[in-house]
Amino acid sequence: MGEDATEAAAGEGNARVSLSHYLLQGRKCFKELQNLHQLLWGKSEQLHSTIVKVKSLTVPHYDSSSLSFDAEPTSSTKEVWKWIELQPSGSVRTVSLPCDLPAILVRPTFEELYEVLKRRVDRGPSSAFIHFGGVLLLGQPGIGKSVFLSYALVMRLLAGQVTVFQNFCGAIYIFRPKGIDLVNDSQELADKHSDITSDKSIWVLADSPPNSMILHETNWFPIYASSPREENYKHWKKHVNPDVLYMNAWSWSEVVANRELCLPGGTMRSLAYFHMIFSLYGPVARTIFHLILPPLQNDEEDQIRFKEDFARYEELIEKKAAQTVLANDYLFIEDTPSAISHTGSHTLTLILPTSPIKSAQPKQIQRSYQLTPITNHVLSRIAQAAVRRDAEKGKAFFNQVMNRYPQVFGSLQGVVFETLVHRLLSLGPTLWLYDLPLTHGRTPPPVEILISLELSESREFANLENLGSQLRLRKNSPNIHPKSLNTYLRPTIGNLGAIDALALIDPSHIGWRKKPASYDPSLPTLVLFQCTVSRDHPISLVALNKVLDAVPANGTKNPVIFLWVLPGERIRKIINSEVRAGGSKHIFRPQLYKDAAGCKAVEVRQMITTFSTKRLWGFAEWVIGNDRIALESKGIEKKEIQQLAEFTKDAQYTGEAVVKGQRVVSNNVWHVLSSTTPGGANT
């Protein structure tokens, strides 16, 4: 047999296997739907309370800024939740839902949408909505639009209402009082169901584009739950003119309820992991409960599976971010990452249902929507992709995005600032530190401390346990490993709740204007970094204690420095808006602690350093493609050398790295303060 003939035969064989598989799945689906009909039809009074279960739950809540697998709840609320769980009964030995889930959460979105659809159909010919030829249900991929169809089917079967269900393969099943029927063509429809084809009260629950015979040969009311990809519904929408409704994404409370009520082994999986995934990658059920499902706590194999899924998903995020930057646009993206799931879809943006009427009450279902970044973490990956590719073009890209979406993308500027700061600090610059409160006046605030960081290979850690191991000279040792000194250390993903990063600075890399009496020059000084563009940023004492407990004992004996990193432009804005209007001279005060009840008291020296965003972009352009560049004195400006000399003249101690003149990359705060005029303009 020739090569072409062999391939043809193989193709025919594959086709036969595919057809056989399809028919087998069809028979299996038919049997399952038969059982569902037999169990539920018209039994609302007898079964509703046993099928639709109700339970009061305690829903723990986390600090929204805490992106850590070690996070703990800061508050909780009591909430009542419903869920549907089918149990075999009588001659029905097995039963399952079309969505193939063991149980489904009754989301408020489902109940609201179901009532909306009932009103649309019940109003009849006089309805203002009668010109609509059905409903097109859209929304974020992976939030459960298809699951809603299963919910609606259960509700209608319990009520004994004739319903048509079209599955994702396009197979059409008609549920009637005596049973169900699989309809394959128009002739079969006419022969068996001509008595109901004109009934406008019959719902068609469609998980694929509604069949043309439903469109042309019946008056049924189609409800099509579609992916937001336009090609999936464009043709049908053109011919039917449906009412387009957008479903809301998941709330945190829904994630908690689904974990406890509907997910097998859900309570054996850490809630902090669910919150981490929810915060990093968005309010999407498919992502949280399928693509990167948190691991069983005492299952090593499942822990490995989770780490692999998590890494693959993060890699996918970075890939899509790079593609977005390359296309120089920020449009909705849907993908099917076969590396994680053959049915998974992923987005960088969130489809958020909105009302065009500002005074309207918030609803779960709307006719309008807006796009917003799905999370700040995903936005930071886009920022990193832009900087890596080409800093100059990246800057133009972000300016374009902020001009195009000034309201929706309000958080973009802060994310870009943090991304640029983290990138620069990991390369090993020198920083000026000023004490808080930062005061605006005629006398320049003195540089109290100067620290020098160094470039290091190992500058990331997975969690606090990993951080503790990385910092210690040996297990349980109070001493710091030399390779961890003077290095800007960040979590691989997220933050530590109270801080973004930390560094242990040895005595040779720190200079003091006035050394504290408790300072021990034989031990390192712990510096905790927190980037912010906000004037008010309370510190989580719970998270801060966890960080300090993870650091070896000799790393916390010297005074701990809590360093706020702000954009210089933010300082100017505060001065212009408040100080020059006769307000307080305190531009940036020491921040307060939150969730402090029952926590160990912590003493830290709160300080501040600032960066010009323009200068950050300049450094990004300078180091593009060369992460190992040294910020050495060869690039130092004359005025920086003079300022450095003024600082070292009064310092009781100046470290070796400071003396050698590593480049100072932070702003001179006095220049920032003095560049503001009473009229609010910058000189």
Q: Residue 245: pLDDT above 80?
A: yes
Bridge-partner residues for 179, per DSSP?
176
Q: What is the pLDDT of residue 24?
A: 52
Contacts of 223 (CB under 8 A, 6+ apart): 117, 134, 135, 137, 149, 152, 203, 204, 205, 206
Question: Rounded to an integer, what distance in angstroms lies between the CA atom of residue 150 and that of residue 156?
Answer: 10
Read off the pLDDT of each residue in 52-74 and give the average, rounded to a whole number: 88
Q: What is the pLDDT of residue 122?
A: 74
Q: Residue 127: pLDDT above 50?
A: no
Q: What is the pLDDT of residue 103?
A: 96
User: Any long-range contacts for 306-309 (C-beta under 8 Å, 24+ apart)?
Assistant: 306/273, 309/340
Q: Residue 118: pLDDT above 80?
A: yes
Q: Residue 223: pLDDT above 90?
A: yes
The answer to which of 64-73, 189-198, 406-415 has the lowest mean pLDDT is: 406-415
Which residue did the predictor score with more confidence, 672 or 409? 672
Query: What pTM did the predictor assign?
Result: 0.78
Q: What is the pLDDT of residue 54?
A: 96
Q: What is the pLDDT of residue 279?
A: 93
Q: Residue 9: pLDDT above 50?
A: no
Interval 437-484: pLDDT, tens:
887 766 778 888 988 888 776 688 888 888 999 999 888 899 999 999
Residue with tokens 């009229």, as numbered in its chain: 679
Q: What is the pLDDT of residue 213?
A: 87
Specify which of 214-223, 567-576, 588-597 reaches the highest per-range mean pLDDT. Answer: 214-223
Which residue did the predictor score with more confidence, 580 or 245? 245
Specify which of 21-30, 156-165, 435-444, 661-670 reaches the highest per-range mean pLDDT. Answer: 156-165
Q: At what angle do helices 464-471 and 541-550 cross, to 10 degrees?
A: 40
Q: Residue 48: pLDDT above 70?
A: yes
Read off the pLDDT of each residue in 509-517 and give the average, rounded to a whole number: 87
Closest alpha carbon to 526 in 541, 509, 505: 505
Q: Where are the beta strands (DSSP E) in 532-657?
A: 539-540, 560-567, 586-588, 593-594, 604-611
Q: What is the pLDDT of residue 571?
A: 78
Interval 70-106: pLDDT, tens:
888 889 999 999 999 998 887 787 888 999 999 999 9
Cα atoms in the 13 Å half-sphere on the side-chain side of 550: 22
| Amino acid residing at 372 | T
Contacts of 503 (CB under 8 A, 6+ apart): 451, 453, 486, 487, 488, 489, 526, 527, 529
Question: Rounded to an integer, what distance in angstroms lies between the CA atom of residue 622 and that of residue 617?
Answer: 9
Mean pLDDT over each residue of the chain, to the nearest integer: 80
Q: Residue 634: pLDDT above 50?
A: no
Closest alpha carbon to 491 in 62, 69, 74: 69
Q: In the structure encoding, which two tokens stand for residue 109, read together? A: 């979105």
Q: Report the run of H or E that residue 314 belongs to, with start and end.
A: helix 300-327
In eight-state DSSP terms, residue 221 is E
Interval 278-308: pLDDT, tens:
999 999 999 999 999 999 998 999 999 999 9
Q: What is the pLDDT of residue 179?
A: 94
User: DSSP string of 13-79?
Assistant: HHHHHHHHHHHHHHHHHHHHHHHHHHHHTT-HHHHHHHHEEEEEEEEEE--TT---TT---SEEEEE
Closest alpha carbon to 252 in 59, 105, 83, 497: 59
Interval 526-542: pLDDT, tens:
999 999 888 888 888 88
Specify which of 30-34, 41-45, 70-74, 256-260 reaches the highest per-range mean pLDDT. Answer: 256-260
Model confidence at 575, in pLDDT bands (50, 70, 90)? low
Question: Rounded to an integer, what distance in angstroms lies between the CA atom of residue 228 and that of residue 244?
Answer: 11
What is the percent of the chain with per-residue pLDDT over 70, rounded to a whole number? 76
Measured in residues, the chain has a length of: 683
Which residue did the predictor score with more confidence, 604 or 396? 604
